[in-house]
Amino acid sequence: MTWVGAPVPRTQDRRMLLGRGKFTGDLDRTGALHAAFVRSPFAAAAVRSIDTSPALAVPGVAAAFTAADLGDPALLAVLERPEFVPTPLPLLAIGQVRHVGEPVAVVLAEDPYTAEDAIELVDVDWSPQPVVASLDAATAADAAQVQEQAPGNCLVDLTMFDDERLDGIFATAPAVITATVRSGRLAALPMEGRAALAEWDERDQQVVMHVSTQVPHQVRSAVAQAFGVAEHRIRVIAPDVGGGFGLKCVAGREEVTLAGIAMRLRRPVRWVEDRQENLTASFHGHEQRYQVRAAFAGDGRILGLSAEIDCDVGAYSAFPFTCAVEPLMAATELPGIYKVPAYRARGRAIATHKAPTAPYRGVSRPQLVLVMERVMEKAARELGLDPLAVRRRNMIGPGEFPYTGCNGITYDEGSYAESLDLAEKRVTEAGWPGERDRLRAAGLLAGIGYSCFSERTAYGTPTMSQRRMRMTPGYDTATVRMDPSGEVIVTTGTCGHGQGHETTFAQIVADRLGVHPRQVRLRQGDTDLASYGWGTWGSRSIVIGGGAARRAADGVAAQLRQVAAHLLEASPADIELNGGMAGVRGDQSAAVPLSELARIVYFQAHQLPEGLRYGLEARESFDPPGTFSNACHAVLVAIDAGTGEIRVRRYLVVEDCGVVINPVIVDGQVRGGVTQGVAAALLEQVRYDPDGQPGSATLMDYLAPTAAEICPIEIVHLETPSAFSETGAKGMGEGGTIGAPAAVLNAVNDAMESSGISLDHIPVRPWDIHAALSGGNPG
Amino acid sequence: MKDTHLIRVRVNGREHELAVESRRTLADMLRHDLGYTGTHLGCEHGICGACTVLVNGEPARACLMFGVQADGQDVATVEGLADGEDLSDLQQAFSDRHGLQCGFCTPGFLMLAEGYLAERQARDGAADAEPSEQEIREVVAANLCRCTGYQGIVEAVLDTARQRLAREAR
């Protein structure tokens, strides 16, 4: 048997269930100081002066810092393109604030209550300035400028593709669909907010940081760059991390600031973000507008696609991705699974006086899938065709893989048509159409919606380098070492935070070495233990980190075979590793326990020839171009026309992420992702008023979904292995979130068909339903 | 001038006597004065339920109570659920049903579910029918989880309710 594919129970469950998880906020240090940040109440203001002395007079307050006190440290995320405007991200405001919640000073006290009291006393002389808090305001003539380097508030303006045939195609096409599709600003909302503990280690002459992060090495690089110290002077450890969803795949100003303070004070300093800070002063995402035109032939074939994509990225570029991550992904990947022959896309990042953005789960794919799936529906309606038939006519079909699209992307083998066929079949067999009819007969509006999409995952440097980031991520490195007791330690630069990597990596490595996953221990989230790596985001870890671990495990397996061959007087090619033993193929009698091989290698090195002595260890990297998972989602919604309430009644996912390492974990990722996507479609929105004041600073206002807003989610698996990954697995951490908004919005539109209104924005709220039903203007 | 009170509180059956500032929340007192860091804080305004503990057997948001209000009370936290190193039936069901991913919200859900199951048992008696999926879903809706989509949590609580009913019936 193999461990890959088995529902191996997660090793981390036990400590979490016993209340023995160790999250950053759980760590106590004697003499630690607690940080509280003074934050801007204004969306735009000059900071004329800051007086921390009244705070310093409070008993229990030990120190306070402004930017000037720390040498005006800032982070600079750069895209090496002429169309990109680099703007520094000050750790603490340097004379100017650009969003409510921007940190301007920090107070350190013996307990957090005192620190919070004291920040109230810091005297800041603000000079408020005009505010731009929306795409329209920021791009208006004479708009106030968020960054002095960026006239017109445009931080990046890239026309990625511009097929000159398009004008002719639009002029002659039998049908041209136009649409404006909008998506609301979202908060990633991990249940554990951000947190950091930084302390100076005198013996190692090093600042040691525990940070709730997805990217320990990038936090280390951020500290090194902000304070001008060598990277080895910083050790970043991610202990248990309570979710991230992209919020923690960028360096936070607060955690980097804490490192600088710990180096100065030589005392442990800690900070735990509260939920208000998390909702207003961390990072957001997904606020986008697409103005699209699509040309279709009479038979439903798409002939051309043109899109103007604007992303409201807030005030700053997050480190290291830059604010271009959303518009670049959107403009590059918009065609998705459809064969678009002619394409034009312009992507812009527009600065506003709002919190900066980070790559929240899905990044731009929930939106671009939303756009394409609305376009397919609209084209079908315009042409009098079946919407699923229009999709089938345009999607990359069986036998067409690998397919290179007009966007230059090569799609590895997937099951786009098969997943739609299967979803439609299940929906029919499960009686959804009949249920929709019954709901309608009972006086509700009811509809069924589909979305078909692929999920580009595991972006290695061959793909990432096309973005031209100064810090280009993509590869990862693993070491595998068998210790003298015959057990295995794996290190990785990826950094799981709830995905169960301790278990899935162990499954991959166990198969290569012929041991039990219990004998494989994953060490991650520690920059002093692992080779430089890029953390966990972009559905990269199991493909890239797991691929590197598999390669390194193969290296150790080769060493074990050589040692066994030497001892058993056989050829290494005839040695099999299985069940904790090394045996000779076809000879049951000759076998040695792996623990005995390990003992000899470490403790009886002299018995072995020179090349086999001194350890069982390998280090390997993996850097793939990327691989595409795919799925089809179907959803049945019911809408109460009186209240406008939209309820999700049934949800089906047919998904294909190649080789499934652990089916239980895959299903959990899908269900969690779908729930976030449904919430993006119906509930969640970070709101700002025109003055840039947040309207969703608590969980009373930012509506995260509860169990009552989601229904059981049925999952069906297809398995098309990837030729682009070591294990055949494809990444799959984001697909649920990517596919759900489009399926839900299509279902809502199906339910609302009689109104004649097309709803093309998310979230769709009860008042949008009311407006649409009363002939008003939705959105 | 700090306003400090001497209180006695029983946590997971163990007596503690401590001086606590009047404004200190029960959650901070449990976590940082007494070391029960299994109770987590997700919002500090009573919505997410990550800090749910049992006070005299009933679920309570530890972020919305002051430590001094627990004077003389009986508090149960996640650390008290297991029998030594053996997971309780509810804890085991969470693992079996994949009711947790990052694990941060998990202690709150466990305590919420313990409170609910105990209350239901006391209310209905052993002879009553098992709860519906919908009933469990509404209970689970008291707390927030960002990872799982709730399905594994709902199934774990339902499984445990069924097992406990079956055990009572024997």
Residue B94 and residue B69 in one domain:
no
DSSP A587-631: EEEEEEEHHHHHHHHHH-GGGS-GGG-S-EEEEEEE----EEEEE
CATH number at residue B102: 1.10.150.120
Residue A123 lies in a domain: no
pLDDT at B124: 62
> Pairing between strand A89-90 and A74-75?
antiparallel
Dihedral of alpha carbons A271, A276, A277, A283, sign: positive
pLDDT > 60? residue A778: no
Residue B161 and residue B100 in one domain:
yes
SS3 B160: helix
Q: What's the average model confidence in pLDDT over A530-555?
A: 97
Residue A610 and residue A495 in one domain:
yes
Residue A115 lies in a domain: no
Residues of A in Cβ contact (< 8 Å) with B27: none
User: Cβ–Cβ of B147/A672 closer than 8 Å?
Assistant: yes
Residue A14 lies in a domain: no
User: Cβ–Cβ of B150/A706 closer than 8 Å?
Assistant: yes
Q: What's the average model confidence in pLDDT over B31-50?
A: 98
Q: Whole domain around residue B117: which residue ranges?
A: 89-169
Q: What's the average model confidence in pLDDT over B71-85?
A: 97
Which residue in chain A is spatially nearest to B21 when comparing CA positions?
A: A113
Residue A550 and residue A445 in one domain:
no
Q: What's the average model confidence in pLDDT over A189-214?
A: 98
Min mean pLDDT across A51-55, A289-293, A755-759 is at A755-759
Q: State how far the Cα of A498 lies from the Cα of A771, in Å rounded to an integer.
A: 41
Which of A576, A604, A622 is the last residue in one of the domains? A622
Per-residue tokens: A216: 């320990």
Alpha carbon of B106: minimum distance to chain A alpha carbons (Å): 7
Which residue in chain B is spatially nearest to A675 when comparing CA positions?
A: B149
Mean pLDDT of chain A: 97
Residue A577 and residue A517 in one domain:
yes
Alpha carbon of B7: minimum distance to chain A alpha carbons (Å): 20
Which of A601, A622, A643 is the last residue in one of the domains? A622
User: Cβ–Cβ of B100/A713 closer than 8 Å?
Assistant: no
Residues of B in Cβ contact (< 8 Å) with A60: none
pLDDT > 60? residue A106: yes
Residues of B in Cβ contact (< 8 Å) with A17: 78, 81-82, 87, 91, 94-95, 100, 103, 106, 110
Strand partners, A234: A207
Residue A571 and residue A500 in one domain:
yes
CATH number at residue A538: 3.30.365.10
Q: State how far the Cα of A691 lies from the Cα of A43, in Å rounded to an integer.
A: 7
Residue A455 and residue A467 in one domain:
no
Residue A64 lies in a domain: no
Alpha carbon of A228: minimum distance to chain B alpha carbons (Å): 34
Min mean pLDDT across A11-20, A368-377, B55-64, B160-169 is at B160-169
Residue A676 and residue A748 in one domain:
yes
Residue A539 and residue A676 in one domain:
no
Which of A622, A657, A686 is the last residue in one of the domains? A622
Q: Categorize the per-residue pLDDT at A79 as very low, low, confident or very high, splitting at 50, 70 and 90.
A: very high
Residue B73 and residue B94 in one domain:
no
Q: State how far the Cα of A751 lies from the Cα of A649, in Å rounded to an integer.
A: 13
Q: Categorize the per-residue pLDDT at B130 as very low, low, confident or very high, splitting at 50, 70 and 90.
A: confident
User: Cβ–Cβ of B45/A275 closer than 8 Å?
Assistant: yes
Q: Whole domain around residue A723: which residue ranges?
A: 365-460+627-773
User: Cβ–Cβ of A668/B152 closer than 8 Å?
Assistant: yes
pLDDT at A776: 56
SS3 A213: coil
Residue A638 lies in a domain: yes
Residue A640 lies in a domain: yes
Q: Which of B4, B43, B90, B137 to mutate to test the interface with A (most CBs of A within 10 A)?
A: B43
pLDDT > 90? residue B170: no
DSSP A430-499: TTHHHHHHHHHHTT-EEEEEEEEEEEEE---HHHHGGG-BSS----EEEEEEE-TTS-EEEEES---SSS
Q: Categorize the per-residue pLDDT at B1 as very low, low, confident or very high, splitting at 50, 70 and 90.
A: low
Residue B95 and residue B27 in one domain:
no
Which residue in chain A is spatially nearest to B22 when comparing CA positions?
A: A113
Residue B63 and residue B95 in one domain:
no
Residues of A in Cβ contact (< 8 Å) with B142: 706
Q: State how far the Cα of A478 lies from the Cα of A247, in Å rounded to an integer.
A: 25
Query: What proportion of chain A, given as a percentage, has pLDDT over 90?
Result: 97
Residue B66 and residue B97 in one domain:
no
How many structural domains does chain A have? Answer: 2
User: Cβ–Cβ of B94/A710 closer than 8 Å?
Assistant: no
User: Cβ–Cβ of A707/B77 closer than 8 Å?
Assistant: no
Residue A481 and residue A599 in one domain:
yes
Contact B150, A707 (CB under 8 A): yes
Residue A493 and residue A590 in one domain:
yes
Residue B67 and residue B95 in one domain:
no
Residue A372 and residue A450 in one domain:
yes
Residue B138 and residue B66 in one domain:
no
Which of B80, B112, B145 is the last residue in one of the domains? B80
Which of B35, B61, B80 is the last residue in one of the domains? B80
How many structural domains does chain B have? Answer: 2
Contact B102, B149 (CB under 8 A): no
Q: Categorize the per-residue pLDDT at B169 as very low, low, confident or very high, splitting at 50, 70 and 90.
A: confident
Alpha carbon of A549: minimum distance to chain B alpha carbons (Å): 22
Residue B93 and residue B165 in one domain:
yes
pLDDT at A779: 46
Instruction: Provide Rg for chain B, Cα atoms.
Output: 16
Q: What's the average model confidence in pLDDT over A313-335?
A: 97
Q: What is the pLDDT of residues A569-626, one digit of tens each?
A: 999 999 999 999 999 998 878 899 999 999 999 999 999 999 898 889 999 999 999 9
**Please, which residues 244-273 of chain A have a Cβ atom closer than 8 Å to chain B?**
245, 272
Residue A467 and residue A616 in one domain:
yes
Match 């295995």 to its residue by tokens: A488
A191 reaches B (C-beta below 8 A):
yes
Q: Which of A12, A14, A15, A17 to mutate to test the interface with B (most CBs of B within 10 A)?
A: A17
Please give the angle made by the CA atoms of A518, B99 and A196, to the nearest 5 degrees.
80
Residue A278 lies in a domain: no
A518 reaches B (C-beta below 8 A):
no
pLDDT > 60? residue B126: no
A with B: how many residue pairs have Cβ under 8 Å apart? Answer: 173
pLDDT at A589: 85
Residue A408 and residue A473 in one domain:
no
Q: What's the average model confidence in pLDDT over A214-239?
A: 98
